[in-house]
Amino acid sequence: MANLTKCKTCGKSISENINSCPHCGEKNPIAIDLNRPVSKKDIKELIIGLLVAILVLSYVMGGDTTKENKKAINIDNEKKEIRAWYSNGTLHQSSIKEWKLATSENKLATSADWIMSVNKSIEKKVTDSGTMDTLMPYSIELVSCIDTAISDNNTADSENSTTIAVLCMSLLKYD
């Protein structure tokens, strides 16, 4: 059985479950009684309503934040990788043996340093483009040349890799 309350306009008894008063036609006839005790059902309905509203809002405002966060992390990691390829080269004064044992990342970064210090034309291309990625094909080519030059067993492992790099840069016309 429905609970009864009074219409806020005409004061006659009405059901709490109606949208308009059958006596006077008032829309939303139920007056809010601020002194009425709050039931557990009311609290549950409020909490559920708030949770639904928060979920809907977060979806509408941010979409699937997990996907967005993963995408942002991937983009950030890609930027770091793009920026980092030319950093931290340590083979500038290395021996041929050290060059052979080095990582490809270290070889690439060291080659980038050598090219930028010797070839002003390539340095200008990099500066004009605004990205170090312009330098990458030259660095790859220099690493390949050095690796090819030292691939035979006749090359002295104690020889300085800089000597081979200078010869390769001359051969590639990077000087």
- The pair of three-digit structure tokens given for residue 129, joined into one six-digit string: 């483009």
> Rounded to two decimals, what is the model's pTM?
0.52
Q: Phi then psi for 151, rounded to 5 degrees?
A: -70, -25
> Helix or strand or coil: residue 174?
coil
In this predicted model, which residue has the larger pLDDT, 90 or 61?
A: 90
> Helix or strand or coil: residue 37?
coil
Nearest to 88 by CA among 113, 125, 59, 115: 113
4-6 and 13-15 strand pairing = antiparallel
25-50 pLDDT tens trace:
888 777 666 666 777 777 777 778 77
How long is the chain? 175
Q: How far apart are CA 23 and CA 144, in angstroms?
A: 94
- What's the pLDDT at 77? 56
Query: Strands, DSSP E only, in 39-124?
Result: none
Tell me how far apart the terminal alpha carbons of the chain are, to the nearest angstrom: 96
Nearby residues of 163 by Cβ (< 8 Å), 6 or more positions away = none
pLDDT band at 154 (very low <50, low <70, confident <90, very high): low
Nearby residues of 118 by Cβ (< 8 Å), 6 or more positions away = 169, 174, 175
